[in-house]
């Protein structure tokens, strides 16, 4: 686990560098991104008592992975020692984490985020347990989303030229399908996934241009 956490920390550092070469000194409010994701997460899980709602588990897990991106980024501001940070995170994630009520646990996590303007890994581990999102799945989903984030950046996400919807479907949906078609244990998985995203994106864009 520690080795895979270190891999994720290195990939997140690389992603942040892709967005801004001096990202550590820019004062980016990672905690704000986290609590906003919490609100989106709550919507996907459902909370309205006046209408029938069922948790969208796939979207719940995607939002938790997004929070993990921002959480690691916040923690990376504190140290460049990826190995030491990975050891600290592994200790928490390996420990027992049992939730009570998802809504209450999420609000507790969001409150801690706002109060301390930080990432509470212990409370995040509880949310993972609530969503039945184990470490292996977290790792797999993180790698996939990190690759998609690089793909977005390489195709004009910052200047606004990249469109997240391909042929009427969000790129996250295409990502899930492509990950399911590939061998996630392959050392070149992320490279194969990036290539597959490019092939599908180019094909769909070409189809749209021909209409």
Per-residue pLDDT of 48-97, as tens digits, reads: 999 988 888 888 998 999 999 999 999 999 999 999 999 999 999 998 87
Per-residue pLDDT of 138-158, as tens digits, reads: 999 999 999 999 999 999 988
Q: What is the DSSP letter of 19?
A: H
Cα torsion angle, 125, 128, 129, 134, sign: negative
CB-CB neighbours of 131 under 10 Å: 22
Q: How far apart are the first and last CA of the chain?
A: 48
Instruction: Supply 40's token pair.
Output: 């989106």
pLDDT band at 211 (very low <50, low <70, confident <90, very high): low
Spell out the domain ranges in the chain.
Answer: 1-131, 140-211
Residues 6+ positions from 11 with CB-CB distance below 8 Å: 142, 143, 146
CATH of span 1-131:
1.10.4010.10
Section 183-204 average pLDDT? 90
């Amino acid at each position: 686990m520690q080795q895979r956490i270190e891999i994720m920390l290195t990939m997140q550092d690389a992603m942040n560098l892709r967005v801004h070469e001096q990202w550590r000194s820019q004062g980016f409010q990672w905690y704000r991104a986290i609590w906003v994701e919490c609100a989106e997460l709550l919507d996907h899980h459902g909370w309205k008592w006046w209408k029938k709602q069922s948790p969208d588990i796939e979207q719940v897990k995607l939002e938790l992975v997004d929070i993990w991106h921002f959480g690691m980024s916040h923690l990376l501001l504190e140290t460049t020692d990826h190995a030491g940070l990975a050891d600290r995170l592994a200790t928490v994630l390996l420990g027992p984490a049992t939730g009570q009520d998802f809504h209450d646990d999420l609000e507790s996590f969001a409150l801690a985020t706002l109060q301390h303007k930080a990432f509470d890994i212990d409370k995040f581990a509880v949310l993972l347990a609530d969503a039945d999102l184990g470490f292996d799945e977290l790792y797999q989903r993180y790698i996939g989303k990190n690759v998609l984030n690089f793909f977005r950046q390489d195709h004009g996400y910052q200047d606004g030229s990249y469109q997240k919807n391909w042929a009427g479907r969000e790129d996250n949906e295409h990502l899930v399908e492509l990950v399911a078609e590939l061998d996630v244990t392959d050392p070149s998985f992320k490279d194969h996934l990036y290539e597959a995203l490019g092939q599908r994106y180019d094909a769909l864009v070409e189809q749209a241009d021909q209409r």
